[in-house]
Amino acid sequence: MDNIIDMQPDEIHSRAHAKVWSRMMNAQNEVWRSREQLKHKRYGSLEKEDIELILNGNLIDQKVWSYILTLIEQHDKD
């Protein structure tokens, strides 16, 4: 279904779960990439401190998306 108005609650729930899972995996990949950049000192045009800030932001994103996914999965059990 392409029309949000016509979507059933279970379809919205399923799409929300898939989207959050995708965002969490993307955040995990970004954390890994930032750590690799720091490990191998590949900063490009950025400073080391910039990569550290990016890593910190990615860690926060990962934690937030994980929390949201937990809430969705807890809703599944209710």
Tell me the pLDDT tens digit for each residue of 6-23: 888 888 888 999 999 999
In a domain, 55, yes or no: yes
Residue 2: pLDDT band with limits 50, 70, 90: low
Other CB atoms within 10 Å distance of the CB of residue 62: 19
Residue 20 lies in a domain: no
Residue 38's identity, in one-letter code, is L
In a domain, 69, yes or no: yes
Q: How many domains does the chain have?
A: 1
On the question of pLDDT at 69 being above 60, the answer is yes
Residue 12 CA to residue 7 CA, distance in Å, equals 7
Helix (H) or strand (E) holding 21: helix 9-39
Q: Is 60 exceeded by the pLDDT of residue 1? A: no
Structural domain contains residue 1: no
pLDDT of residue 10: 86
**In this structure, is residue 77 part of a structural domain?**
yes
Is residue 75's pLDDT more than 90? no
Residue 39 in any domain: the answer is no
Tokens 């990569």 belong to which residue?
51
Q: Domain for residue 42, yes or no? A: no
**Phi-psi domain of 41 (left: phi exceeds 0; alpha: psi -120 through 50; beta: other):** left
Q: Which domain holds residue 56?
A: 47-78
> Above 80 in pLDDT, residue 34?
yes
Query: How many Cα atoms occupy the beta-carbon half-sphere of 38 within 13 Å?
Result: 15
